[in-house]
Structures are given as structure tokens and as C-alpha cells.
Amino acid sequence: MNAYIFPGQGAQFSGMGLDLYENAPEAQHLFEDANEILGFNITDIMFEGTAEALKETKVTQPAIFLHSVILAKTLGESFKPDMVAGHSLGEFSALVANGALTFKDGLRLVSQRAKAMQKACEIQPSTMAAVLGLEDKVVEDICAKTEGIVVAANYNCPGQLVISGEIDAINRACEAMKEAGARRALVLPVGGAFHSPMMEPAREELAAAIENTNFSKPNCPIYQNVTANAVIKEAEIKKNLISQLTAPVRWTQSVQQMIADGATLFTEVGPGKVLQGLVKKINREAQTAAAKIETKA
């Protein structure tokens, strides 16, 4: 069974999407539509902008979404997912790819999500940290015992968790992780505590937008971050999407469940190869690939 997976924030690079724009007429139309929907020329920043310009949340999230979704749409007949999943932001790309959301609605929601997250980051300084070499339970226990807000945010693969919360609490937790034997506990260069209770203002703002957006019956299940299980009902998809901003990304558990449900090939659709690497760390036997553009004359 073919599983298609979609990356999240951090996968961006200067020049992203230019090959799609130059080689696929359908991609050109979609990129131009995106400029109109967003109200600024995101293509200029994606194709020619600096890494610094691409780092701004209101640009990064739509840019990665566009690269992933437009690539999926240029795959033509070869794009036949039996199941999909996306890491954090990538969940929106996956929902367009499996027909639950239109391109336009998906892009609008991603743009609103990015702005809401940026606003939440400005309310109170917060951050995230990568913890390597500890079991999930040990990380969770240290977070629970640490004073202040700090939670497990991204279960990326066994032995690689990201924690999220208040700056002081993250620093305290990192010290405790090292004392507990972590190979590394490193504060990340991010603008806020994503997938933590500190994103509650953004969750509330996004909830209204999601509730007012029409979702269709998807053509295959999506394994959502919040539950790590196959979801096909529109109401459940919406509910999980709203919870996602303050809940952890259960990527390890999602991939394990997809394999249990019959996934034999994981194809990453979008910039970078991060998810392919994580899948291999979760299960060495899993087959992975990168989606490639089908050019049209």
C-alpha cells in the first residue's frame, strides 16, 4: 500500500518550487492563484528570496504547503495514495492531497494558522528543544516534574523528541534531560512553543476558521498527528485539526500504525528528505522515496 507523507516547518530552502513552476503549466497557474489568495507574491520569496526571508512564519508555512500540494498535483496518474499523513503543518497538505480540502481553502487555512501562531508567539516568549537519546517516558516524566509550562511536542522517532514551552522551563528541563542521560538536549532556533498549551490563543482563532470551512469526504484515510489513527470522517478530521496546535505531533506512532495497517512504501511529497529519514529510524524495513515531478511538453 502507498503512503504519501508531507513535511512541516523547517523543510524550506531558497529556490523552492522554481523547478515546478518552470516545468509544469498546471503548477504555474496554481502558484499564480496562490499569490492572489495570499495578497502578496510568495513566489518571489520562494524562488529568489533569502533563507532569512523564508524563515518568517507567515511565509514559511504557505511556502511549504504550496511546494507539497503543487508537487502532488503535478504527479498525474502516478499519484494514487492508499493513505496520507503530514507532520504538523504537513497535515493541511495531506488533506488537500486526499481531497478533504480544496487548494484554495487549504491555503487560506494555512495562512490563517501561520498568522495566528505568530501572534501567539508574541504574547509570551517561548521556545522548543530537541532531546536525543532518551525514552519517551523519561522525557514525559521530566516535563511533568519541571516547574513552568513544558511538554513533549513532537514524537519524531524513537530517541528523538522535541519539547515545547516557556523559555525558563525549557532550560530547566534540558538540564534535567542531560542529567538523566540524554545524548543531547538542545534549544532550537524557533519563534515559539508550538504544539503546547501556549498555542491556545492560536487554537481558538484557527478553530473558528476551520469550523467555517467546508471539508469533503476524503478519497483515502489520513493518519492525524493528534490520534495517530486512520481518520475518514469529516467531523473527526476537523476536530483533530483544531486540537493539533496545542497537542503533540505523534509522528512515530502514526508511522507505526500506517505500517500495521499495510503501508509498504512511504513517498515524501514536498521539500527536503526529513520525513524519509524519520520513517527509516522508526522502521528500518520500511521503503521510502521522494516524489518527482512529471514534466509536460
Catalytic residues, which ones? 88, 195
Cα(204)–Cα(123) distance, integer angstroms? 14
Residues 6+ apart with CB under 8 A from 224: 85, 91, 231, 237, 240, 241, 244, 254
Q: How far is CA 237 from CA 26, 77, 162, in A?
A: 28, 26, 24
Helix, strand or coil for residue 224? coil
Cα(217)–Cα(228) distance, integer angstroms? 19
Strand 287-290 and strand 222-223: the pairing is unpaired
Q: Length of the chain in residues, anyone?
A: 297
E strand spans, 149-264:
150-157, 160-166, 184-187, 222-223, 230-231
